[in-house]
Structure 1
């Protein structure tokens, strides 16, 4: 006969075994149960029921803080439910754990767009989608990418398409310089009317690889009939994302009517690389080889091949609503028939963009390039008293501009812009300056 102590010991052993069994069963069942919750949450997101998805996911968050896939689903559900701050936190953590998830970059870009952080939004979007011919302002860039990202995430579309049309009126002035005064055309003013239309497409192949193409047509008609500028630009490329980087390569070209029966054809092969250093900073690098050809006429000897490399850096500030960037470039013009010979080129670009609200954006830019030519020739020097001398040509080219974008309705914007151009050369005939101001209306679709 067993005493009370033996009976108690047996009961304790049974209790321990029962607890161990229950704990073991819980360990086996919990992952399967959690996985079922994730599958159900994904289904609810696809059905556009984000609130119900959040009800499933939020209780699991403390145990899944290092699970990139879980954090992406949590961020998606919060984004679709309108909780941008929760979505930002989850998606930023997801990307930190697994940056090779293009849909996470698209979703985070949508979050930044919703929060008005358009500079940060563009940085994220361009790790998954890349369009060539977007306007210079962040407001429009962010809106175009946001719609493409929405279609990809919510509708499962693998092909993103955008289009636009622009029209307006402007004023062109040839400023007085020694070159324009000596050879005619100085201090000349004309009104012009312009039309622009185009669009782009990006098709996802899978594994964060895409095919991209754009087309852009521009036409400017001058009131006095002195010029009739027509320009068709195009690009075709393949791109691939990995981590916080994207590389693209392909062809871009341009066919331009220069007036008086003169045409110019440009075709370039290029490789571009983009890397996000963090949410706010990005650096880029590029290499291109371009052939510029004037098929016939007096400009034919300007045909040339240009090899150019560039490196740039940009940084967002004002809580992601503004950005400042600088890009340096250098290269060489070869295979030319110009009497000035080949030339070394180097220069820089700086730009600043500030989004004041979801309907108002302003931007400014400065561009400079130095061309040093190799051949000596007899010509007139602008710093001498009309005396001929033998020397090599040197050009400094400047361009600066500013613009304002007011989005007054969904997909519609009003765009006043000013551009100043100054070409300084030690050859009299090549000194030139102009000022252009215009007001355009743009619609995006």
Structure 2
């Protein structure tokens, strides 16, 4: 008899089980390949951006935008590509997204500043750039300031340069008038008019270090020659050297600045100070500033030598961007003390304020102005001629109110070239006749930016 073999359950595989396992393995491989394909090629995108192939980089990254919205590096690279393909509004949103995930990402701050600049929001661009850059001796109009910062940001991002900077040269002609006051009339200098010629040149640099640190410096030279041989020719050299640290939306700076001025008749005035400055970007439209400064003003020789003094100042300010970045309002207050002086009127407490407005009419035309005021309260009684007395001296404590009012128009008639009419009115008002003074200056400068 032939025996039938016993089939033991679990040892003989049914054909359908093999098919299911094969399908599972194929699905796993397919899913893995699909997941791999959903990862953007960041290294390739970085290379394309470095090479300036923004359209290729945008095409490579844009399909993955939704899946990588929380990736700060991805949003930054796509923002660079969008800015390079003339999509500043898109770039702005991407840089903002990058900074939301990584507030201390310096390249994203520079990219966002460039996006604002490309949109014509110059005041917002300046606020954003100043989370990274620190330049002084800039022109008064916000559009030109933002243009200087944008050039430095382009050098840093597009050219991958740790060292970025700017330069300029100016020359012009103007009219200087000494206005009649009780003081200028008493000194025989009231209502005097002089034609002058002026020149100015300078520049600045920023050297980026690791982790948001940077070293920056500026140099500015100004010269004015008066047509009247009885008037002095002035020269002025200003410098600054400082270090800074980008702290997300804020920036902390500290360093040294100085100034050497020729005051006529062989007299010079030297200023050297140590300072610190903190800028806080509250939002795209508002910036707050806080600063401290200790300076020594020295007149080495001559009749003004007793005016040498040390000054300690504290300041606080607010900058507001409005009209979609086309307008800028800034308010600053300062207070301090002049001490270590040999002036007959002694030490003095000072406090004051500055207000400035700037409007951009177009990408080639802007205008603005400022008002500055300071109150000086001297500590010592001294003998002076009082404005209300007639040839009689009185014992008094000197009290001064100093005012400056300025206005300007800037017309960039071709790239890097601009024409700049400016007006400045000065008034020194004092309870002592000898310190009353007023002048009006009007000039036109031609400026070349580098």
Q: List per-residue Cα deviations over 1:63-106 (Å, max 9, x = no partner).
A: 11111111101100100111111111111111122121111111
* 2:76 alignment partner in structure 1: 72
Mapped to 2, the partners of 1:8 and 1:55 lie a distance apart of 47
The equivalences for 1:200-279 within 5 A come to: 200-225=204-229, 226-279=231-284
The equivalences for 1:176-191 within 5 A come to: 176-191=180-195
* 1:129 alignment partner in structure 2: 133
* 2:41 alignment partner in structure 1: 37
Measured after TM superposition, the shift of residue 36 of structure 1 is 5.4
Mapped to 1, the partners of 2:170 and 2:52 lie a distance apart of 35
Q: List per-residue Cα deviations over 1:141-192 (Å, max 9, x = no partner).
A: 1111111111111111111121111100000011010000011100111100
Mapped to 2, the partners of 1:361 and 1:317 lie a distance apart of 15
2:92 pairs, out of 88, 92, 99, with 88
Measured after TM superposition, the shift of residue 383 of structure 1 is 2.9
* 1:414 alignment partner in structure 2: 419
1:105 pairs, out of 84, 102, 109, with 109
Measured after TM superposition, the shift of residue 40 of structure 1 is 1.2
Q: Does 1:167 align with 2:181?
A: no
Q: List per-residue Cα deviations over 1:257-312 (Å, max 9, x = no partner).
A: 10011110000001111110011110111101000000001100000000001000
Q: Does 1:47 align with 2:54?
A: no
The equivalences for 1:298-337 within 5 A come to: 298-337=303-342
Mapped to 2, the partners of 1:9 and 1:136 lie a distance apart of 82
Q: Does 1:153 align with 2:193?
A: no
Measured after TM superposition, the shift of residue 16 of structure 1 is 8.1
Q: Please give the secondary structure, in 1, of the residue aligned with 2:373.
A: strand
Mapped to 2, the partners of 1:434 and 1:12 lie a distance apart of 98
Q: List per-residue Cα deviations over 1:182-219 (Å, max 9, x = no partner).
A: 11100111100001111111111222111111111111
Q: Please give the secondary structure, in 2, of the residue aligned with 1:277.
A: strand
Asked if 1 retains the 8 angstrom alpha-carbon contact of 2:406 and 2:422, the reply is: yes
Q: Please give the secondary structure, in 2, of the residue aligned with 1:171.
A: strand
2:32 pairs, out of 17, 25, 35, with 25
Mapped to 1, the partners of 2:102 and 2:184 lie a distance apart of 58
Mapped to 2, the partners of 1:316 and 1:114 lie a distance apart of 16
Measured after TM superposition, the shift of residue 14 of structure 1 is 3.9
Mapped to 1, the partners of 2:226 and 2:135 lie a distance apart of 30
Q: List per-residue Cα deviations over 1:105-126 (Å, max 9, x = no partner).
A: 1111111111111111111112
Mapped to 2, the partners of 1:112 and 1:393 lie a distance apart of 49
Mapped to 1, the partners of 2:41 and 2:308 lie a distance apart of 64
Q: List per-residue Cα deviations over 1:197-247 (Å, max 9, x = no partner).
A: 111111112221111111111110111021110111111111111100111
Q: List per-residue Cα deviations over 1:336-387 (Å, max 9, x = no partner).
A: 0001000000000000111111100101100000000000012221134443
Measured after TM superposition, the shift of residue 20 of structure 1 is 6.9
Q: Please give the secondary structure, in 2, of the residue aligned with 1:336.
A: coil
Gap runs ≥5 in structure 2: 1-6
Gap runs ≥5 in structure 1: none
Shift in alpha-carbon separation, 1:370–1:23, aligned structure 2, 3 A: farther
Asked if 1 retains the 8 angstrom alpha-carbon contact of 2:156 and 2:164, the reply is: yes
Q: List per-residue Cα deviations over 1:308-333 (Å, max 9, x = no partner).
A: 01000011011111110100000000
* 2:410 alignment partner in structure 1: 405
Q: How high is the TM-score relative to the length of structure 2?
A: 0.94
Mapped to 1, the partners of 2:378 and 2:313 lie a distance apart of 16
* 1:362 alignment partner in structure 2: 367
Larger gyration radius, structure 1 or structure 2: 2
Cα RMSD (Å): 1.9
Measured after TM superposition, the shift of residue 255 of structure 1 is 0.5
